[in-house]
Chain A
Amino acid sequence: MHSCLIGTKRYCFDGLRELMAKASPLRSGDALAGLAAESAEERAAARILLADVPLARFLEEQLIPYEMDEVTRLIVDAHDKAAFAPVASLTVGMFREWLLGEAADAETLAALAPGLTPEMAAAVSKIMRNQDLILAASKISNVSAFRSTIGLPGRMASRLQPNHPTDDPKGVLASIIDGLAYGCGDACIGINPATDNLGAVMRLLSMIDEIRERYAIPTQSCVLTHVTTTIEAIEKGAPVDLVFQSIGGTEAVNRSFGVNLAILEEGRRAGMSLGRGVAGDNLMYFETGQGSALSAGAHHDVDQQTVEARAYAVARAFDPLLVNTVVGFIGPEYLYDGKQIIRAGLEDNFCGKLLGLPMGCDVCYTNHAEADQDDMDGLLTLLGAAGCAFVMGVPGADDVMLNYQSTSFHDILYLRRVLGLKPSPEFAAWLTGMGLFDAEMRPMELDENNFKLELPHAAS
């Protein structure tokens, strides 16, 4: 029991699970779940109490029981006590100060990651302002590599997302050419297929692989289908670079996605068996997002931000190339408006980076959320400052297959320019070699004569 007196009113919280939920910044999903603080004062009181909780307490009191949940078992069993030692005596409040202080440099933070649990990361984030989340995250760089290198300081990569409502190959190719010419695609060229049909998935994989080979593009391809479909595609000889899966922070939500830790490991091994990596062998691509556990009734009364942080413990067990929080896709009943989406994006980037992941973010919203392009400009710029590793590139920010708005190729050029960020080093060299960008990463003036990517013809 945690309790405190504010004026004449006493606030009581029954255990870490309730304390964490009540301390969480307001969002519609926690209110929908009946977990949110009932007043602003109750929320502030919960934070005061949370700040006094020793970090080590999170090793003793699990929010979801060890016996009940394989994600909890993973978190507990993989905890590195030696790595935890530098902060083992701190409270949550002192941990915030430590993170913001000079002692917490890139090297120290990288060494600390295996010693932290997702609940510790979530707890400290709840008492951090947006600027704290940005400053602390900006100090961390988690580097991963396959053909390109992701997560280096001063770099901003992008997933080229060339979706098409019917997976029409020429329609997909048209968007790929557009994206490459705009300097996007260094995180991956990744399609959300309209169907999970194996044949269709294999055709798309071959198509992207062909164009990648033809122009020797230092990136990796991905068709974002269920991990078991990707395993089948690998068995049938498809050119698979990245193995994709949506994941969440509890065993039950992962079950609702049709996966568990063993299936993810099987997927990773299948991908590794092809040995296609050049710069490195990180080949898992995970997507996450606050609210997915609640929507599957699999949240165990844990607040949605803490469950999201637990998903990063799942991700880091598989040395991923990319982890992407799809922050505004889920809808207003989980994140109501631009303010909530922006906060969630910054929390996810911070927690993911603190736990050792190459974090990216799908800066996005649906048309029934109270958000617009101005909100996305804000979040995108803040994430750039916070050292986010990659964002999405969708033609004109309008995904014509998934019917939501993400970030555009133009948005990525904007972000790189305003913050002086560059594409991944291998990809930047390719862009200049192809005559698309100059050495300072300014777009070249292109016309029919100097544009080296061949355009498909209607008749061919």
Chain B
Amino acid sequence: MPLPENTPQTIRKDPWARLKTFTAARIAMGRAGVSVPTAAQLDFQIAHAKARDAVLLPLDKDALFTDLAGAGFPATELTSRARDRREYLLRPDLGRRLDPHSADLLRERAGSSQAPDLAIVAADGLSTTAIARQAVPFLETFAPLAAKRGWTVSGAFFVNLGRVAVGDEIGEILGARAVAVLIGERPGLSSPDSMGVYMTYAPAVGLTDERRNCISNIRPEGQPFAKAARTLDHLLAKAFAACISGVCLKDDQALECAEVPKVCV
């Protein structure tokens, strides 16, 4: 409905609004007095709400496991030592280890099957939204590349309340040559659903971040699935050839979108 003619102006606009084309930063918002206009304030709140929900809302695991199985990665559900979301956030150390029951389950599984070249681990991390949206399409893109190389790849080991390093324990128990951990990254206001993939050669409990390579910001608006999958394929080939991962693989022009993580999730 149009406003009546005598409606007072409540906002001062900024005459540099066209600079918005140069940056995603929240510039030229205008002002009400010296404060943020209502629409901009609410826009910020919806972005923060999405980021908070990504951290806190439970994952629809049934849907994820069905889709993973459909993509050729039947899921096994495991749990870290963190008991709930709050403890997960407060105690990163607990999210890095499997609970004893999960470790036993995995050992039984490992005893009855061949050790894979690559173990696939998925964890909710700091964004359940990211794993719900990006894990399956990423794996669908990556699977044909691994098949072409002739690598044996495990099903998906899903870890409730897991951190990146939990992949070390899973890879070690399975005797995998390498592990790829798909995990929800710390959400930003403009990127609540970013997934990271961390690759570690010869995974073992106690390894540190310098032994991992990281492909971050995987989502359609960030790093596309195809590029991320190619990078993982390339990283693994290098790691299998050199028998190492992490810092040593970093300075390779072909690995432009891979990096050694500064801080793992």
> Which residues 152-182 of A sit at the B interface, judged by CB distance below 8 A?
162-165, 168, 170-175, 177-178, 181
A351-372 to B contact mask, C-beta < 8 Å, 1/0 = 0000000000000001110001
> What does DSSP make chain B's interface, helix, strand, loop or mixed?
mixed
Known contacts: A28-B90, A178-B14, A366-B186. The answer to whether A171 contacts B34 by CB under 8 A is no
Is the C-beta of B126 less than 8 angstroms from some C-beta in chain A? yes
**A69-77, A425-433, A444-452: which lies at the interface:** A444-452
State which residues 71-95 of B face A: CB under 8 Å: 89-93
**CB within 8 Å of A: which of B20-34?**
20-29, 31, 34
Task: Say yes or no: is A414 at the interface (Cβ < 8 Å to chain B).
Answer: yes
- Asked if B48 lies at the interface with its beta carbon under 8 angstroms from chain A, I say yes
CA distance A181 to B15 in the complex (A): 10
CB distance from B187 to the nearest CB of A (A): 5
- B35 A410 Cβ-Cβ under 8 A: yes
Cβ-Cβ contact count across A and B, 8 Å cutoff: 137
Across-interface contacts of A455 in B (CB, < 8 A): 16, 18-19
List residues 290-330 of chain A with CB under 8 A from any CB of chain B.
none
Cα A322 to Cα B159 in complex, Å, equals 44
* Stretch touching chain A among B107-115, B130-138, B173-181, B188-196: B188-196
B255 contacts partner chain A, Cβ-Cβ < 8 Å: no
Specify which chain A residues have a CB less than 8 angstroms from the CB of B21 in the assembled complex: 458
With contacts A32-B91, A332-B89 taken as known, whether A174 is within 8 angstroms of B23 at the C-beta atoms is yes
A-side interface residues, number (CB < 8 Å): 49
Whether B24 contacts A400 by the Cβ 8 Å rule is yes
A275 / chain B contacts, CB cutoff of 8 Å = none
A residues in contact with B186, CB < 8 Å: 366-368, 403
- A31 in complex: contacting residue of B35, B45, B90, B188, CB < 8 Å: B90
- Does chain A have a CB within 8 A of B47? yes
Q: In the complex, A395→B29 CA distance in Å?
A: 9
CB contacts (< 8 Å) of A32 on chain B: these are 90-93
Q: Does the CB pair B23–A400 fall under 8 Å?
A: yes
**Contact A395:B34 (CB < 8 A) given known A178-B16, A447-B15, A455-B18:** no
Q: A417's contact among B25, B29, B34, B55, by CB below 8 Å, is which?
A: B34
Residue of B12, B20, B190 near A398 (CB, 8 A) is B190
In the complex, the chain B residue whose C-beta lies closest to that of A31 is B90
**Neighbouring A residues of B250 by C-beta, 8 Å:** none
A408, B36: Cβ atoms closer than 8 Å = yes
Taking a contact as CB atoms under 8 Å apart, the answer to whether A395 and B15 are in contact is no
CA distance A170 to B36 in the complex (A): 24
A163 to B55 alpha-carbon distance, docked (Å): 24
Whether B23 pairs with A367 at a CB distance below 8 angstroms is: no
A178 close to B188 (CB less than 8 A): no
Query: A405: which B residues are within 8 A, CB to CB?
Result: 48, 189
Contact partner, B19, options A168, A177, A410, Cβ 8 Å: A177
- From A446, which residue of chain B is reached at the shortest CB distance? B15
Known: A333-B89, A403-B186. A398 touches B26 (CB 8 A): yes
Q: Is residue B235 contacting chain A, with contact meaning CB distance below 8 A?
A: no
B191 to chain A, nearest CB (A): 7
Docked Cα-Cα span, A397 to B16, in Å, equals: 18
Q: Within 8 Å of chain B (Cβ to Cβ): is A443?
A: yes
Question: What separation, in Å, do the CA atoms of A210 and B191 have in the docked complex?
Answer: 33
The smallest C-beta distance from B84 to any residue of chain A, in angstroms, reads: 14
Cβ–Cβ < 8 Å partners of A173 in chain B: 19, 22
Judge if A280 is at the interface, Cβ distance under 8 Å. no
Whether B26 lies near A395 (C-beta < 8 A) is: yes
Q: Which of B27-54 contact A (CB under 8 A)?
A: 27-29, 31, 34-36, 40, 44-45, 47-48, 51-52, 54
Q: Which residues of A contact B (CB under 8 A)?
A: 28, 31-32, 162-165, 168, 170-175, 177-178, 181, 332-333, 336, 366-368, 372-373, 394-398, 400, 403-405, 408, 410, 413-414, 417, 443, 445-448, 451, 453, 455-456, 458
Docked pose: A156 CA to B191 CA in angstroms: 32
Check B27–A178 contact: CB distance below 8 A. Answer: yes
Q: Which residues of B contact A398 (CB under 8 A)?
A: 25-26, 44, 47, 189-190
> Are A333 and B44 interface neighbours, CB within 8 A?
no
Using CB atoms, name the residue of chain B closest to A175.
B25
27 A/B residue pairs, CB under 8 Å, sorted by A? A32-B91, A32-B93, A163-B25, A164-B23, A168-B22, A170-B23, A171-B25, A173-B19, A173-B22, A174-B20, A175-B23, A178-B19, A178-B27, A333-B89, A333-B90, A367-B48, A367-B54, A373-B45, A400-B24, A403-B186, A403-B187, A410-B31, A410-B35, A443-B31, A446-B15, A451-B15, A458-B22
Contact with A along B145-189 (1 / 0, CB 8 A): 000000000000000000000000000000000000000001111
Q: Complex: how many Å from CA A353 to CA B93?
A: 35
Q: Report B8 CB to chain A, min CB distance, Å.
A: 15
A403 nearest in chain B by CB position: B188
| Alpha-carbon separation in the docked complex, A165 to B223 (Å) | 13
Q: How long is the Cα–Cα vector from A446 to B31 in the complex, in angstroms?
A: 11
Given contacts A367-B48, A373-B44, 5 further A-B contacts (CB under 8 A): A162-B25, A332-B89, A333-B92, A368-B126, A403-B191
Residues from chain B with a CB closer than 8 A to the CB of A410 are 29, 31, 34-36
Given A368-B55, A446-B15: A414 in contact with B34 (beta carbons within 8 A)? yes
Q: Nearest Cβ in chain B — how far from A106, in angstroms?
A: 29
Contact residues of B between 89 and 106, Cβ < 8 Å to A: 89-93
| Cβ–Cβ < 8 Å partners of B93 in chain A | 32
Tell whether, in the assembled complex, residue B44 and residue A397 are in contact, meaning their CB atoms are under 8 Å apart: yes
Q: Looking across the interface, which residue of chain A has its beta carbon closest to that of B33?
A: A417
Residue of A nearest to B20 (CB): A174
Smallest Cβ distance from B228 to chain A, in angstroms?
Answer: 17
Question: Chain B's nearest CB lies how many Å from the CB of A230?
Answer: 19
Say how far B25's CB is from chain A's closest CB, in angstroms: 4
Q: CB-CB contacts of B54-66 with A at 8 A, as 1s and 0s?
A: 1100000000000
- Cβ contacts under 8 Å, B15 to chain A: 446-448, 451
CA distance A405 to B44 in the complex (A): 10
Query: Taking each of B16, B18, B44, B52, which has the highest tally of chain A beta carbons within 10 Å of its own beta carbon?
Result: B16
